[in-house]
Structure 1
Amino acid sequence: WLPWLVGMPAETSRAICSVIFGGVLERLPHLKIGFAHGGGSFPGTIGRIEHGYNVRPDLCSIDNPVNPRQYLATETHPAKFYVDSLVHDPSALERLLTLFGSQRIMLGSDYPFPLGEAEPGAMIETMQSLSAEIRDNLLYKSALDFLGLSSLPE
C-alpha cells in the first residue's frame, strides 16, 4: 500500500512541479489542467519548492522565470491549475482552499480505486465551516468551469 499512500501523492507533486518549472502554463496560458490527490504533497511542500526555486534554480531544472507560488490563489484570483478534493481530512481541505481557492478544487472520488470516500463529497457536506458558495464550488461548480460548461445539463 505504500506506493498508493505515499508514492502517488509524491508523484502528483512532482507532476505539478514539472508543469511549473517547465513553463507549460506560460507557453499555454489557456490550458486547463487538473491534478488528483488534492495536489498530492505539493500543498505541504510549497515552501520547500519555492525555496529551491529561489536559492538553487540550478537543481530545479527551471525553464520558467515565474515563482511557483505565483500559480496559487491570491486575494484577487484563484490558482492557475485545478486539484481535486480527495484529501480525507478537513484541515487538509482547508489548506487547499487557502492555496487554490474553491474555484479550483473539484470533487474527487478516486473511482474505481479503493481509497476513495464511500460516499463522494460526504466530508465536504459535513464541514460546517464551509459557506454554501464554497460547498457548491467544491461539489460541482469548479468541475463545470474546468469542462467549460456554464451550468449542469438538464
Structure 2
Amino acid sequence: MRKKNLPGSWSKTQKEQEMNVPQWLLNLTYKCLEKLPENRYANGMELHDAIIQHSIANIKLDDSPKIDETIIQQEPETVADPANAYPTDQSDMIRLSKPVFTLLMLALVGFMGYTAYSLLNINKPDTQKPAVSSPLIDSAAYTDSIAKVQRLTRFIAKKTGSLIPS
C-alpha cells in the first residue's frame, strides 16, 4: 500500500530510498504526529524506549563476519601487542608532562605577543621626554674636568722634561 501511494513525479532512486525507511520508524513518526495528545507518547522517555526497542530488534546477529582460525594460527606476529604499541627506547623523542607543555605554550604565546607589540610600536615617536636641542653643561663638573686635565698635563711635562706652559 505504501508503494502505491508514492508520488508519480519521484524518480526511481527516490522511490527506492523511501521504501528503505523501516515501517517501525514510520509508525513511530505517525504516533508522534497524532492529533489527540492521549494517542501520542506520554513523554520523551517513552519515545526513547520505543526507538531503542525497535532499533535493537532489527539488528541481526547472524551477519557478523566469521573469523578464520587458520589465518589466526598462520600470522600470530601480526597481532598488535598493546605494551609495545609505543616504543620507549627512542632517544630522539622528548617527553613533557601536560603542565610543563602548557607553560611552554603560554610562554611562547606571551613572547610572540610581546614581539608583535614591540614591532608595532617601533615607529611611534617618544612623547614622554621632550627633545633637547642643546645639552646643558654643569659648570662645576666642567671646571673639575679642566683642573684634572691641567694636572695631568703638568705631570706628563715633569716626566718628559718638556716645557708646557701652565
Short-chain TM bin:
under 0.3
Q: Relative contact order: is structure 1 or structure 2 higher (C-alpha 8 Å, sep ≥ 6)? A: 1
Structure with larger Rg:
2
TM-score (normalised: structure 2) = 0.16
TM-score (normalised: structure 1) = 0.16
**Higher percent of residues as strand:** 1
